[in-house]
Amino acid sequence: MADSMISAFESSLDKTNLILKDIENAYGWPKERRNQSYAALRTVLHLLRDRLPVDESVEFAQQLPVLVRGIYFDGWVPSDVPIKLNRDDFLYEVRQGFPYDAEGGPERVTQVVLDTLRRHVTQGEWQDVKDTMPKDLAMMMP
């Protein structure tokens, strides 16, 4: 049993590192900039989570690796969601939560993370998430 728990943890860690690596590859960042890829992922995940209705947020999270799911739910207050955010509000909040200068600013950070997340969840679930977004924000989603 202990071996299977370690294996599950290692699998989640591997999947999380793959997501972070996908973000780094999109920017051409070396692994030494892992803090930036983590900050980008965390910021966009939290805004996405807070924009989604509770049920949809939980369904989306079920497709994330356990470690990313922990990041996703860290600090979540279900009674405070969904928060109304249009595209401009979302990008403003990304800028506030991502303390690094990155090529393309908050729009590119958002696009890179959304593109990455899309590759790690099913098409059906991604479409469900996209369908809950306002049109201007949904247009940013792959």
Residue 2 reports pLDDT greater than 70 = no
pLDDT reported for residue 106: 97
- Quick one: pLDDT band at residue 1, thresholds 50, 70, 90? low
As given in the structure block, the two tokens for residue 61 are 């999270």
Task: Give the whole-angstrom CA distance, residue 77 versus residue 11.
Answer: 28
- Quick one: pLDDT band at residue 5, thresholds 50, 70, 90? low
99 preceded by cis ω (within 30°)? no
Domain 1-140 CATH assignment equals 1.10.490.110: yes
Show me where the domains of the chain are located: 1-140
For the chain, what is the mean pLDDT?
Answer: 94
pLDDT in tens, 128-142: 999 999 999 999 999
Residue range 24-50: mean pLDDT, rounded = 96
